Amino acid sequence: MNYPAYVEMVRDFSLGGETTSSSEFQGKFWVDSIVESLVIIDALIPSVHLNEITIEKLQKQEMPIMWLAITETWCIDSAHSLPIIYKMSEVNPNIAMKIILRDEPPQVIDNFLTRGSRSIPKIICLDAESLVVLGTWGPRPTALQVKMMLRARTVNKLFEEDNTTAEDKRRKIINILKNWYKEDQTQSIQAEVLESLLY
């Protein structure tokens, strides 16, 4: 599906109080994540500002490529990154963007694991004609990924000590993510997509 269709699907699931994905990702926290994702998407789409270097490099893409984004409706990282990547794809007609869900067959994500994990979003750059993989990006900007990995052990230990529920833990992690994306102002995503998803 294209990105606007995906956004409408997020909206429909938000209104219906349901999520995409397996039973593991059902329940109030995940439904709330869809609602929160939609707020982020609706704020970003009209306000994304691509810098001049990004636009110039995108305009130089001559070979037709496809950016295949693997995600789920509840993914907060997707809400922060896919609107930007979509706006980038609109700069050049040689760049098409499609969305597939991680947990729907065939599970394409299993060929693009991040350190053994089915982390999303994952964007795959494909030759539009042959569908040969040219590059990948995701699940989040490198600096944020490193920050989250470095903090993971400390955060996990802290939560074990104070008996914080899994939902409270996820909420704190989401707040860390949101604050980082707000401070970065889309610059890391723009730079990394140019480096990883153009050919």
Which residue range(s) make up the domain with 135? 3-196
Say which CATH number the domain at 68 has: 3.40.30.10
**Total structural domains in the chain?**
1
Q: pLDDT 10s digit of each residue in the chain, 199 long?
A: 999 999 999 999 999 988 898 788 888 888 999 999 999 999 999 999 999 999 999 999 999 999 999 999 999 999 999 999 999 999 999 999 999 999 988 889 999 999 898 999 999 999 999 999 999 999 999 999 888 877 665 555 555 555 566 677 778 888 889 999 999 999 999 999 999 999 8
Q: What is the pLDDT of residues 163-174, one digit of tens each?
A: 566 677 778 888
Q: Which of 192, 196, 190 is nearest to 86 (CA)?
A: 190
pTM for this entry: 0.91
Q: For position 160, what pLDDT does the model report?
A: 56
Distance CA 141, CA 90 (A): 21
Distance CA 150, CA 67 (A): 29
The amino acid present at 52, given as its one-letter code, is E
Cβ atoms of 88 and 190 within 8 Å: the answer is yes
Q: For position 156, what pLDDT does the model report?
A: 57
